[in-house]
Chain A
Amino acid sequence: MNIVVCVKQIPDPNAPQELEEDTLTLKREGKLIMDDSDSYGVEMGLLLAEAAGGGEVTLVSMAPNGETSGLRTALAMGAAKAILVSDPRLKGSDALGTAKVLANAIKRVNPDLVIAATESTDGYTGTTPVQIAELLGLPSVTFAKKVAIENNVLKVDRQTEAGYDEIECPLPAVITVTAGVVEPRFPSFKGIMAAKSKPIEELKLEDLGISESEVGFAGAGQKVLEATPAEARSAGEIVEDDGTAHERIIAFLENLKLI
């Protein structure tokens, strides 16, 4: 069972975020970390490979600046190796451009299963995994909250508006997993040490046969025009609970004639 997990390295979402002044895209300088949303996919990949009794997890990632610290985290969890498509010409790529790059990188591994998060924490477009599936000619099952493989068939509980659907899908396929689907393991000390020597293959656009007109700002079919502070809500009232705060809530609701 060879599994690819798509991993995005993003600026720490808990740190203040800023936009580039000229392009109004997210600043991605400095240290990048593995998107927490992807840790569930990495864990799921490791569990499925273990359950299949063999095979390995390969990480596939794209970054304009050669950053690998987020990938090392996933390697420390137990992934065998990584492919990083790193090229300054990728800066500004939109979801479809990203999908083209990742799909071409994934082809080199020829996996049984591709796992991604439902969406990234920084861009949250949420279309890239399905675009990858289409470019690879594979079926996809999104919003998986439970995943098993039996006789080369994926069995997935997929989130729906009303509850969930039981889905069956032959491999190879692409799935996206929701957060909370599994409990991601913490890298062990041994894992962290081992990760330092695991292979990360760095590729450029030429290695993938992708033209620079299809990716980056050049290939993005969309542009951010402006970014302005949202209309602020008028300042509310903040009160410390002195044991009677519930009365303030009652008064607030009464005032709106809701009770």
Chain B
Amino acid sequence: MAFSKVWVLSEMQGNQVASVSLEILSFARSISEQVEAFGWGEIGSQAEKLGDFGAKVINVVEGIQNELPAVKVASAVKEVVQSGSGPDVILIGTSYDGRDIAGRLSAMLDVPVITNVTGLSLEGEELIASHSIFGGAIVAKSKFETSKTPKIFVIRAKTFAQEPAGGAPAEVKTLSYGDVGKKSDAKIIASHAEERSGPKLDEADIVVSGGRGLGEKENYAMIEQLAKLLKGAPGASRAIVDAGWVPYAYQVGQTGKTVKPTVYIACGISGATQHLVGMKNSKNIIAINKDKDAPIFSVADLGIVGDVHKVLPKLIEALQSRA
């Protein structure tokens, strides 16, 4: 195997391991015999799950409570690296805390970090990262040009498929962090969950997304209704999230969720680069837009040049009459 030790950031999402962590663990097994998870909080309770996905060890950073975790997690990893028993490669899923951890670690260890990875392959002894740029029109490939380790990659969700390996439960080890001074003074006072019903946006078979073409906030109800009828999840473009129509959790795109449903239905979305990056790998794409030159049509399997205010009510009515 190419690398003697690979660490994968493993985060909790609710009371489960985040799917992006399991996806990356599935890949990590192909480049190293010694794949280890690292994380904080309740991750130590996931020995069976993480073991099943190939982690031999879970390294839990202790002493993180009600605070943003990045500084202490990065500091603990730094201690291990400086003791000489650190990993050759660190793989981190693109998440709020994941990017913070990658940034902190990079600056603490003075090593570069490669982000926005949408593919990773082993060529010889080197990892080559793919990146989707210009709205997915171009695939760029990059690699590290440094002898420094660890090599840190931040990988977007859905880059790899989840494949359990049937491994034994992982051994839980604890890590302690070094001197963090005032850097870790950002405290979590309260957590709020935004309720939403139906399947999760990044797991749904059908995603129905709305954009500025809906005209006004009230019209987003059509998106929710259509998603419900199709047992799918409602999504949104950045434009209407920025405008405050729907919460950020609905956003599909570069700064939001990456989705790969069986069918993605884009309603009144022009298809800015920012949005295409998050949905262009859907298996099928249906787009409804008034502007026949909208970039969304370049990725659509079925493009409807028409007014969402006319098409959607008819579609909803037709589906209702079938139910």
**What's the count of A-B pairs with C-beta under 8 Å?**
263
Interchain CB contact under 8 A, B314 and A246: yes
**Which residues of B (131-173) have their CB < 8 Å from a CB of A?**
132-134, 136-146, 148, 154
**Which residues of B (89-118) have their CB < 8 Å from a CB of A?**
95-96, 99-100, 102-104, 106-108, 110-116
Interchain CB contact under 8 A, B115 and A238: no
Which residue from B96, B138, B189 sits with its C-beta under 8 Å from A230? B138
Chain B residues near A126 (CB-CB < 8 A):
99, 103, 115-116
Q: Can you pick out 26 interface pairs between chain A and chain B where the beta carbons lie within 8 Å of each other? A: A13-B273, A96-B106, A96-B107, A134-B104, A160-B96, A161-B13, A167-B189, A168-B187, A169-B185, A170-B185, A173-B186, A178-B248, A221-B148, A222-B114, A222-B145, A224-B141, A227-B133, A227-B138, A230-B132, A230-B138, A233-B298, A233-B299, A236-B299, A246-B314, A249-B265, A258-B206
Chain B residues near A225 (CB-CB < 8 A):
128, 141-143
> How big is the B interface, by class?
35 or more
What per-residue 1/0 map shows which CB atoms of A167-209 lie under 8 Å from chain B? 1111001000011100000000000000000000000000000
Interface of chain A, main secondary structure:
mixed
Chain B residues near A250 (CB-CB < 8 A):
315, 318-319
Chain A residues near B280 (CB-CB < 8 A):
233
Q: Beyond A239-B304, A259-B230, is A134–B108 a contact (Cβ under 8 Å)?
A: yes
Q: How far is the CB of A83 from chain B (nearest CB, A)?
A: 20
Interface residues of A (CB under 8 A from B): 13, 17, 19, 24, 94-96, 99, 118-119, 121, 124-131, 133-135, 137-143, 145, 158-170, 173, 178-180, 220-230, 233, 236-241, 243, 245-250, 252-253, 256, 258-259
Chain A residues near B193 (CB-CB < 8 A):
162-163
Which residue from B104, B140, B273, B288 sits with its C-beta under 8 Å from A226? B140
Stretch with Cβ within 8 A of A (4 or more), from B47-55, B56-64, B239-247:
B239-247
Interchain CB contact under 8 A, A224 and B142: yes
Chain B residue at minimal CB-CB distance from A252: B302
Interchain CB contact under 8 A, A130 and B104: yes
Q: Beyond A178-B255, A229-B137, is A237–B302 a contact (Cβ under 8 Å)?
A: yes
**Which residues of B (266-323) have their CB < 8 Å from a CB of A?**
273-274, 280, 284-286, 288, 292, 297-307, 310-311, 314-315, 318-319, 322
Interchain CB contact under 8 A, B103 and A127: yes
Which residue from A127, A241, A243 sits with its C-beta under 8 Å from B99? A127
